[in-house]
Structure 1
Amino acid sequence: MVKVVVAGGTGEVAREVIDAILAKNKHDVVVLTRKDITEPITGVTFIKVDYTDKASLVKAVRDADVVLSFIVIHLDPENVAQKNLIDAAVEVGVKRFAPSEWALKSGSGVPFYAGKDQIREYLEEINKDKKVLEYTLFQPGLFLDYFAHPYADTRHLNTTAMQLDFQHRRGIQVDDGQHPVVLTLVRDLAAVVAEAIDYAGEWPVVGGIRGSPTTFAEILKLGEELRGPFKTDTVSADDIKNGVLNTTWVPTINHPSIPPEQREEMSKLLLQGFLKAAVLGKGDVSDEWNRLLPEYKFTGAEEYLRKVWEGKP
């Protein structure tokens, strides 16, 4: 049994991961949160923290074996919260740490992910002379669940339309859409994290998780097979690299961290960022955890999307 501390543990992806850990019925789970808790979770201890107060974080993570961070990067100016969390983990001798990654490869260019790169540099600096904190960058690519919106069978993750919108039969792709991407179900990510906690070996620094390697062209082809012809906007890689976005529509990102009045602007910036990441190959994450957990069977994109969309109006 180990003690797992989850920072930002009331968030959607965090809740999916916590459920997977609790399902093993063998670990103590502690959630750090800024909020007052009105809905307790059986088997979870909640601690209200101030992430600007390092002393309180030291107390909160003391005796922890693993710390998982789901702190929302773009809501953590100067990465104060996550740096303090890392410093506290080092001070009390936490064995393992996972920063707030949960997405694409490093250096994706997505504007709201810049803090991820800065935290990676911070962790590298801490371990520069000798390893003081074992950590892994859990990188699952894009969540496959989003392409099942609004019918995804997630427990906590609220999905939203992406650049391939199966519901409305429309798409946005760069050039011929052959840029590789990995799509991973959030429940597969959660299961891998739960297995990683029990993994006896050393965590890899880069922790790629390849649920279903594919291309946007292949997913679009599947979408048209299941749903009929899509109205597809094609943009050039050169335009995307230069920050030019000429499309007839933009998928609206309905995420709780984005205020309604900023939703339109931020949705456009995120679309530009995700398309640029595709051009740069940042959605094609590596397979470190697949190789370390060879018995785990991932759900394929085609298998999942066929099950979701066949027979839907």
Structure 2
Amino acid sequence: MGSCNPWASHRFSRRRRTDTYREEQIITTITVLVAGATGDLGQRIVRELLRRDAAVRVLTRPGSGTAHGIYGREDRVEIYEAAYTDRAALASALSGVDTVISAVSGARPVIVDAQRSLLAAAVEAGVARFIPSDYSADYRRVTPGSNRNFELRREFAAQLDAAPLRVTSVLNGAFTDMLTGQAPMILFKRRRVLFWSSPDQVLDFTTKDDVARFVALTALDEDAPRVVEIAGDRVTARSIARTMTELTETPFALQWAGTTTVLAAISRIGRHFSKDNDQAFPAWQGMQYFVSMFSGEAELQHVNNDRYGRQEWTSVRDVLEAHLKETTGDGRNRTIAHPGH
């Protein structure tokens, strides 16, 4: 890596984002190790790597049969067992590996501690490239202390930048499926779409499948820059309400839930009294994520979806439509209960 710090500004991303796609950028004759390969995103990344004929290794905990259950019959996948505290075992698993992709998920013991051990072993083994488990909105610009999970990624990023190997982070906004599950932004039964501060703040979303495809392409791209930003769709609370109205043929209204300043204060209180602070996604962390998104601090600034040529991206509308059809069969207004039910 060069002597400049790409995290100090966006100059690096701005310079590289306009590069034209070249077929020779993509090389498949490399070996990629995926950490966190038994997780939801990790499995999708492995699948995309195999589609591109890459040699794949997966890292799993000793004694865990999960990886063998998933990949045991796939002769193109090598399974290596190693604890993150076992430096020798990690180095052995990484011997001959060209690129490490981390898809681990968790709080400090995982995002900082485990990845730090993986990074040290990668350097020792002579690995050329490292893709950390970022896969988020732009955590580089958020106010310090406003988002714990972003702070952990920023802390590990400093260690990555000091390491003698090439690093590429993939930033993709939020995973789109959060709109149909864990995030209480769309109140399907009450026919409301919540927003904080402004209903017109741009929100970046990308599906896990689209992220996995792009991560695989990035792993095979010998010229990938320090940071690549993608967004499967860019929407607002207002446009989501309009989309839900069209899909259900039932009016969905915007509902102001307060300001991001108030939400940030509530999240701090929740964190103070929480007993699950070691979990990756406690309720207060979800509040912090909404603060980062609706304040605009985490909005992606240099989206480059076409780095590898034109891709098919899944829109927020696609995801919501599929969700409605899955829950009711046709996605129309009978899926929506009357307020109060």
Aligned to 1:195: 217
In the alignment, does 2:240 pair up with 1:208? no
1:133 has 2:158 as partner: no
Aligned equivalent of 2:35: 7
Distance of aligned partners of 1:32 and 1:286 in 2 relative to their CA distance in 1, 3 Å threshold:
farther
Structure 1 residue 291: deviation in Å?
Answer: 4.1
2:178 paired with 1:146: yes
Distance 1:195 1:289 in 2: 13
After TM superposition, list the pairs within 5 Å mapping 1:1-313 onto structure 2.
Answer: 1-24=29-52, 26-34=53-61, 36-38=64-66, 39-41=69-71, 42=74, 43-74=76-107, 76=109, 79-107=112-140, 108=142, 109-126=146-163, 132-147=164-179, 149=180, 160-165=181-186, 167-168=188-189, 169-200=191-222, 202-227=223-248, 228-230=250-252, 232-243=255-266, 267-287=282-302, 289-306=304-321, 308-309=323-324, 311-312=330-331, 313=335
Q: How far is the alpha carbon of 1:230 from its aligned partner?
A: 4.3
**Percent identity among equivalent residues?**
22
The more displaced of 265-274 and 177-186 is: 265-274
The structural deviation recorded for 1:125 is: 2.3
Cα drift, residue 271 of structure 1? 2.5
The DSSP-based 3-state class of the residue aligned with 1:4 is strand
Is the CA contact 1:171–1:230 (under 8 Å) kept in the aligned structure 2? Answer: yes
CA deviations on 1:182-235 (whole Å, 9 max, x unpaired) are 1111111111112223324x2211121121112222112212332334473521
Equivalent pairs counted in the alignment come to 282
The CA deviation string for residues 148-180 of structure 1, in whole angstroms up to 9 with x for no partner, is: x3xxxxxxxxxx232323643443310232221
* SS in structure 2 of the partner of residue 207 of structure 1: strand
Distance 1:134 1:264 in 2: 30
Unpaired runs of at least 5, structure 2: 1-28, 270-274, 336-341
Indicate if the aligned counterparts of 2:91 and 2:122 stay in contact, CA closer than 8 A. Answer: yes
- Residues 30, 47 of structure 1: 8 Å contact kept: yes
Q: CA deviation at 1:5?
A: 0.3
**Take 2:168 and 2:238, find their aligned partners in 1: how far apart are those partners?**
31
Aligned counterparts of 2:116 and 2:268: Cα–Cα separation in 1? 34
The whole-number CA distance in structure 2 between the counterparts of 1:21 and 1:121 is 28
CA contact (8 A) 2:107 2:280 kept: no
Worse-matched range after superposition: 61-70 or 280-289:
280-289
* Structure of greater Rg: 2
| Higher deviation after alignment, 8-17 or 103-112 | 103-112
TM-score, length-normalised on structure 2?
Answer: 0.73
Q: Note if contact 2:210-2:314 (Cα within 8 Å) is conserved in structure 1.
A: yes
User: What SS is found at the alignment partner of 1:171?
Assistant: strand
Quote the offset at 1:242 in angstroms.
3.4
Per-residue CA deviation, residues 56-112 of structure 1 (Å, 9 max, x unaligned), is 211111110110112224051682211111111112221111111011112444323
- Once residues 303 and 277 of structure 2 are traced to their aligned partners in structure 1, the CA distance between those partners, rounded to angstroms, is 36
CA deviation vs aligned residue, 1:117-138 (integer Å, no higher than 9, x gap)? 1111111222xxxxx2111111
The verdict on how the C-alpha distance between 1:102 and 1:53 changes in structure 2, with shifts beyond 3 A counting, is: same
Cα distance in 2 between the residues matched to 1:78 and 1:173? 29
- What is the rounded CA distance, in whole Å, between the counterparts of 2:283 and 2:185 in structure 1? 15
In structure 2, relative to structure 1, the CA distance for the partners of 1:270 and 1:80 (3 Å cut) is: closer
* CA distance in 2: counterparts of 1:6 and 1:289, whole angstroms: 24
CA distance in 2 between counterparts of 1:194 and 1:244 reads 35
User: 1:22 is matched by which residue type in structure 2?
Assistant: L
RMSD: 2.9
Write the letter of the residue equivalent to 2:84: Y
